Amino acid sequence: MKFQTGILTAALLASTAIGASAETLRWARAGDSLTLDPHAQNEGPTHTLAHQIYEPLIIRDMTGAPQATLATSWAPSADDPSVWVFELREGVKYHDGADFTAEDVVFSINRAKSENSNMKELLSSVIEVRAVDDYTVEMVTDGPNPILPANLTNLFMMDKGWAEANDAVDVQDVEGGEQTFAATNANGTGAYRLVSREPDVRTVLTQNEDYWGMDQFPMEVTEIIYTPIQNAATRVAALLSGEVDFIQDVPVQDLGRVADTEGLVVKTAPQNRVIFFGMNMGADDLANDDVEGANPLADARVREAMNIAINREAIQQVVMRGQSQPAGMIAPPFVNGWTAEMDAVETDVEAAKALMADAGYGDGFSIQLDCPNDRYINDEAICQAAVGMMAQIGITVNLDAKPKAQHFPLITNAETDFYMLGWGVPTYDSEYIFNFLVHTRGDERGSWNNTGYSNPELDEMIVSLASETDLDARNEAIASIWNVVQEETLYLPIHHQVLNWGMTDAVGIEVSPEDDPKFKFFEMN
């Protein structure tokens, strides 16, 4: 039996008018891609759309395993362990018919290393990239880097000629509000071409019939109609009524309803992502609190009090309906460096109150919490729960929830003092977390570290990870860095997300731990 609803957006009505066939996949999720520029934003939904159009040298398949894509092989040079050699796939063409060559790789890597790129931390160890011939590229790193290939799975290759012809050589400055040709147009080597795009409304892709992988992947989806639907009830109603075929984020309160509907299935898996709160501990005074001339978040006792005031089990059971795993560190269990011991934290409101009093804030203070309302599972509801938990220790939290397109710039532009963020780790290694979230904010690292925390000694340890080839020594360094992160309470972890994909039973696919469906892998039953 189908649940019918009259609450449909104009975009959904438009997609119905196209007349979907068995090969058309009508896809919805809570939020849209932030841009089509493949190097401008390091953000999950943005990468997911890009993966349909553009390709990296190496991808992770739907199980998370690395797979050759535009590179067919890669290995350190036999002559110099600081040089990685990539052999490229021959015969690949961009959507406009141009050949993919080593020149495009050199251009794309250098572009991704540039100032406006949100991907540059992944390439911080790369000091030079050079084309040996049309189908061989060498990447030179600052000392041997054993995990460089793992950093490349979301680094997309652009056509140098197309970028030059369309004034798209420079990466879009998203935080600065810049609009560029590459932000609204695309020319990749991927399985799908861009047909049309209305940001936050509707994006249509069609199968690239000249795709190099036509015989290597199922390629059963011939058209993709992508409709962001922020409202959870509307999104579920669209799936229940048959207006869409696949949604990535079934609200936890509707899991049973969807699963019990004839013709629909829900598939669930742990996600490689942690949800947490960040705090501006580095400022002398905060803009968004009521404490004059001081920063309460600069006191480690206050941060620890906030940490143990959070009842993660209550959030798990009440807000997430059991669909989360409480977290004590900002690394998912998938990641090298995670330990069960560090991932545990006990709620203790009385101890938190004592810490607040010891820090001189026995009467509490007020502060604004910035939260997205269309990015993570029940993001605003989690923030609302935290408001009540902080009130128990005297902290009055004023919640300001807004769409992710307005929320994320607050973090990257250092305009928030207390904020929600989620972090996935596509490299499956702690270095990725440290480069973005722990290292002092600077030109090459720390772009998402809005805490104001700066520790030069720790920075040196983080940088050294990229060239440490002794894996035992490297793991010891990772553990040492985590010990500092935990002792300083740099962040307030909430939980590891659990993914719930809802789809018609005509769609055959398993949930990716990266929450990044790649539709060339989908089978249509």
Tell the CATH topology of 10-263+505-524: D-Maltodextrin-Binding Protein; domain 2 (3.40.190)
Q: Is the pLDDT of residue 31 over 80?
A: yes
Name, in order, each residue with C-beta under 8 angstroms of 32's C-beta and a sequence gap of 6 or more.
Answer: 45, 49, 199, 200, 203, 228
Residue carrying structure tokens 């000694």: 457
Name, in order, each residue with C-beta under 8 angstroms of 386's C-beta and a sequence gap of 6 or more.
Answer: 277, 310, 369, 397, 494
Three-state SS at 294: coil
Task: Tell me the average pLDDT of the chain.
Answer: 94
Distance CA 486, CA 304 (A): 10
pLDDT tens figures, 342-386: 999 999 999 999 999 999 999 999 999 999 999 999 999 999 999
Bridge partners of 369, per DSSP, are 399
pLDDT of residue 444: 84
Q: Where are the domains of the chain?
A: 10-263+505-524, 271-497
Tokens of 273: 């992502």
Three-state SS at 401: strand
Q: For residue 523, which of 221, 174, 180, 87 has the smallest C-alpha distance?
A: 221
What is the four-CA torsion angle of 434, 435, 441, 445, rounded to 10 degrees? 170
Q: Is the pLDDT of residue 443 over 90?
A: no
pLDDT of residue 176: 87
Distance CA 412, CA 231 (A): 26
pLDDT tens figures, 233-260: 999 999 999 999 999 999 999 999 999 9
| Phi and psi at residue 33, to the nearest 5° | -60, 140
* pLDDT band for position 4 (cuts 50, 70, 90): very low
pLDDT tens figures, 39-69: 999 999 999 999 999 999 999 999 999 999 9
Mean per-residue pLDDT for 155-172? Answer: 98
* pLDDT band for position 18 (cuts 50, 70, 90): very low
| Most confident option among 21-25, 272-276, 521-525 | 272-276
Residue type at position 438: V
Which pairs with CB-CB distance under 8 Å and at least 24 residues apart come from 207-212?
A: 208/95, 210/93, 211/520, 212/89, 212/91, 212/92, 212/93
pLDDT tens figures, 65-91: 999 999 999 999 999 999 999 999 999
pLDDT of residue 15: 39
pLDDT of residue 20: 41
Mean per-residue pLDDT for 432-437? Answer: 97
Radius of gyration of the chain from Cα atoms? 23
Residue carrying structure tokens 């141009």: 98
Q: Is the pLDDT of residue 21 over 80?
A: no
Mean per-residue pLDDT for 140-150? Answer: 94
3-state helix, strand, coil in the chain (%, to 5): 30, 25, 45
Residue type at position 370: D
Q: For residue 329, which of 496, 460, 122, 476 has the smallest C-alpha distance?
A: 496
Q: Is the pLDDT of residue 120 over 70?
A: yes
Which is it for strands 395-402 and 365-372: parallel, antiparallel or unpaired? parallel
Residues in the chain: 525
Residue type at position 414: A
Question: What does the DSSP 8-state code read for residue 93?
Answer: B
Q: Is the pLDDT of residue 329 over 60?
A: yes
Distance CA 362, CA 359 (A): 8
pLDDT of residue 153: 97
Alpha carbon separation from 400 to 79, 288, 406 (Å, rounded): 55, 11, 11
pLDDT tens figures, 385-413: 999 999 999 999 999 999 999 999 999 99
pLDDT of residue 417: 98
Q: Is the pLDDT of residue 499 over 50?
A: yes
Which is it for strands 24-29 and 83-88: parallel, antiparallel or unpaired? unpaired
For the beta carbon of residue 483, count every other beta carbon within 10 angstroms.
11
Q: Which CATH number fits domain 271-497: 3.40.50.620, 3.40.50.2300, 3.40.50.450, 3.10.105.10?
A: 3.10.105.10
- Contact present, 46 and 404 (Cβ < 8 Å): no
pLDDT of residue 5: 31
Q: Is the pLDDT of residue 22 over 60?
A: no
pLDDT tens figures, 283-298: 999 999 999 999 999 9
Q: For residue 221, which of 515, 513, 504 has the smallest C-alpha distance?
A: 504
pLDDT of residue 40: 97
Q: For residue 282, which of 440, 423, 436, 400 has the smallest C-alpha distance?
A: 440
- Contact present, 58 and 152 (Cβ < 8 Å): yes
One DSSP character per residue, 218-280 reads -----EEEEEE--SHHHHHHHHHTTS-SEESB--GGGHHHHHTSTTEEEEEEEEEEEEEEEE-
Task: Report helix angle 471-488 to 456-465, nearest 10.
Answer: 150
pTM: 0.89
What is the four-CA torsion angle of 143, 147, 150, 156, rounded to 10 degrees? 10
- Contact present, 482 and 337 (Cβ < 8 Å): yes
Bridge partners of 47, per DSSP, are none
